Amino acid sequence: MSGNQEQYFSKTLEKGLSILNLFGRETPSRSLTEISIITGINKTSTYRLVNTLIQLGYLRKSADKSLRLGPKAFSMGHECFHGFDIYQGIKPIIDKTFFEHHISIDSALIDGYKLISLYRREMPNLVSFHLPLVMDELYARAMGKIVLANLESDDLEHYFADLAPKKLTPHTLVDIDEIRKDIRSTRTRGYSINDKEYMIGVISIGAPMMNLQTKSVVGAVSLDFPSKEYSLDTIEKQHISLLLTLATEASHLITTAGIRH
Amino acid sequence: MSGNQEQYFSKTLEKGLSILNLFGRETPSRSLTEISIITGINKTSTYRLVNTLIQLGYLRKSADKSLRLGPKAFSMGHECFHGFDIYQGIKPIIDKTFFEHHISIDSALIDGYKLISLYRREMPNLVSFHLPLVMDELYARAMGKIVLANLESDDLEHYFADLAPKKLTPHTLVDIDEIRKDIRSTRTRGYSINDKEYMIGVISIGAPMMNLQTKSVVGAVSLDFPSKEYSLDTIEKQHISLLLTLATEASHLITTAGIRH
DNA sequence: CAATATGTTACTATAATAGTAATCTATATA
DNA sequence: TATATAGATTACTATTATAGTAACATATTG
């Protein structure tokens, strides 16, 4: 087995983490068999790994044997979240812009074909605009669109392969060809526009967070406006340069940190 | 190896997770050797596990080879935090009390000899009272005191064994005997008092979150008051029953969920 | 240019895991 | 009440992954 690259990769750890990753807000509870089937790990090994996670406090078992996250997962989650230096780094950048311009700002990182909310500041005029922390529906969001527009064509095709768009508002694009067209114009435009496509009262513009060395997109920032007070026209005239400045700052942070997709 | 209990425990997974747990807000960056020494895992195995975590995106390596948390750790942290059902369960309980009584409320879970902030609501009058999310200094906090008061005597001794109290305010107890005495009276009293011992302008009272079946303490809740507006006397006369009600509700939640320490 | 510290790779004995299959346990069904 | 079914747990080994030693490589420092 000499020169084997896989010698320095632990499959067991990979499996254990993949099990832990099956738990989250949308699926707080799972059964052993379920885990075994989803991960493709055979039942005994699944049992061993789950049992380990239970003993360490990452999972816990109810009376009916269903599994849930344990306190240790909660505290580790805490630390992994707040110990992530990009989060700590983008906070002051967004705070500064927020206090200077009084605009709602959002930022997110790519994880697979989802966006993970990184840090956000909201103006009170954007009432009840509580976005999910893990975002699907990239096609209907400013941050999602600009990410899609900057993806490698292979990745983009893979995204479209099993896409089933939902009509979230009357303005949501659900026709695949229309979405493709929108992505193309987003790419040439350099920033994305979400005109009430995700939520009725909200217009957003988005720009990419790029790793400037690898030229790959790793996330996005967006500015969000209440459509009652702002027209898309005004926004494009007055706020694009601010958006792009913010995106550039964030990209520098990302690049220095060496985050890649 | 028949009948071996340890057959269904994965040491590799334990080690991998212990490495991931070395990263957090206080120590965002570590070296390979450092990790190997702290965990007691030999260098090659550490290398293998770290390499695995890097490939999976949980860690990343800077140009100078120092290691930091990666985007995958951030997103998993997100999910582990928000997918924790106790967090989701205590939110409405605390929110309700907060809106009805207009008092700052905090809750936390035990992790080792630290408290992990679970959920909190703050009144604007408690300005700049931004508590840490992971709390040491149990001896100087209302939630810490009531947890200590409910610990098994072995655990409590273990806590005192390497305790080096810091004088955080002029009122902080730093003499071990005084702290022991305070813990004893807290135990008989049934709730804890923190009279400007952690922060100058803040008085808090705390009650335990208990697993009512195992009779073990798993966390605490506290009510926090600005000392300018409230005297300890008033607080004890008017808010203790609210505190205890809240703690009971939280304890039921914990017990139903089967959280144990 | 040594000297030192740290990270990476090669090699193999040993210990851990994977996988099969049997057994147990709870719940539903006849 | 017995029986069927699904899911969880345990027993048992062949196989394979990991631990550990030690050599090698690559900065970093004086």
Model pLDDT, residue B258: 76
CA dihedral sign, ordered B159, B162, B167, B171: positive
pLDDT band at B124 (very low <50, low <70, confident <90, very high): confident
Model pLDDT, residue A35: 96
Q: What is the CA radius of gyration of chain A?
A: 21
The token pair at A160 is 């479209």
- A55 — phi, psi (to 5°)? -60, -30
Within 7 A of a protein CB, which nucleotides of strand C? 5-12, 16-21, 27
Name which of A48, A56, A118 is nearest B17 (Cβ-Cβ).
A56
Residues 6+ apart with CB under 8 A from A47: A32, B8
Q: Which amino acid is at A68?
A: R
For the stretch B32-74, pLDDT in tens is 999 999 999 999 999 999 999 999 999 999 888 899 999 999 9
The percent of residues in chain A predicted with pLDDT above 70, rounded, is 96
> Which chain B residues contact residue A74 at CB under 8 A?
80-81, 84, 86-87, 109, 116, 118
Distances B185 to A14, B143, B243 between C-alpha atoms, Å = 49, 15, 18
d(CA A227, CA B10): 54
d(CA B20, CA A32): 24
Say yes or no: B111 contacts chain A, CB-CB below 8 A: yes
- Of A152 and B259, the structure prediction assigns the larger pLDDT to A152
Q: Is the CB of A8 under 7 A from strand C?
A: yes
| Nearest C-alpha neighbor of B241 from the set B202, B194, B170, B191 | B191
Model pLDDT, residue A250: 97
For the stretch A98-145, pLDDT in tens is 999 999 999 999 988 989 899 999 998 876 556 677 888 999 999 999
Model pLDDT, residue B33: 94
For the stretch B83-111, pLDDT in tens is 999 999 999 999 999 999 999 999 999 98
d(CA A210, CA A220): 8
Model pLDDT, residue A7: 84
Distance from A168 to chain B by nearest Cα, in Å? Answer: 24
Q: Which residue of A lies nearest to B70 if distances are taken between CA atoms?
A: A84
Q: Which residue of B lies nearest to A84 if distances are taken between CA atoms?
A: B69
Q: Is the CB of A11 under 7 A from strand D?
A: yes
Beta-carbon separation of B80 and A73 below 8 A? yes
> Using H for helix, E for strand and C for coil, what is the string for chain B?
CCCCHHHHCCHHHHHHHHHHCCCCCCCCEECHHHHHHHHCCCHHHHHHHHHHHHHCCCEEECCCCCEEECHHHHHHHHHHHHCCHHHHHHHHHHHHHHHHHCCEEEEEEEECCEEEEEEEECCCCCCCCCCCCEECCHHHCHHHHHHHHCCCHHHHHHHHHCCCCCCCCCCCCCCHHHHHHHHHHHHHHCCEEEECCCCCCEEEEEEEEEECCCCEEEEEEEEEEECCCCCHHHHHHHCHHHHHHHHHHHHHHHHHHCCCC
The label of the residue with tokens 């390596």 reads B61
> Which chain A residues contact residue B53 at CB under 8 A?
13
- The pTM for the full model equals 0.84
Question: Mean per-residue pLDDT for B207-227?
Answer: 94
Model pLDDT, residue B111: 81
The token pair at A206 is 């988005």
Q: Is the CB of B40 under 7 A from strand D?
A: no
The token pair at B5 is 């209990």
Q: Is the CB of A7 under 7 A from strand C?
A: yes
d(CA B197, CA B220): 18
| Nearest C-alpha neighbor of A100 from the set A239, A254, A193 | A239
Give B30's strand partners.
Answer: B67
For the stretch A193-213, pLDDT in tens is 999 999 999 999 999 999 998
d(CA B149, CA B193): 12
pLDDT < 50 positions in chain A: 1-3
User: If DSSP codes are grouped into helix, strand and coil, which group holds residue A210?
Assistant: strand
Distances A190 to A141, A209, B47, B210 between C-alpha atoms, Å = 15, 12, 41, 55
Per the prediction, chain B carries an average pLDDT of 92
CA dihedral sign, ordered A146, A150, A151, A156: positive
Model pLDDT, residue B130: 60
A142 within 8 A of A206, measured Cβ to Cβ: yes
Q: How many beta carbons lie within 10 A of that of residue A246, not counting itself?
A: 25
Model pLDDT, residue B214: 84
Of A residues 52-91, those with CB within 7 angstroms of nucleic strand C are 64
Distance from A58 to chain B by nearest Cα, in Å? Answer: 9
Residue B2 has pLDDT above 50, yes or no: no
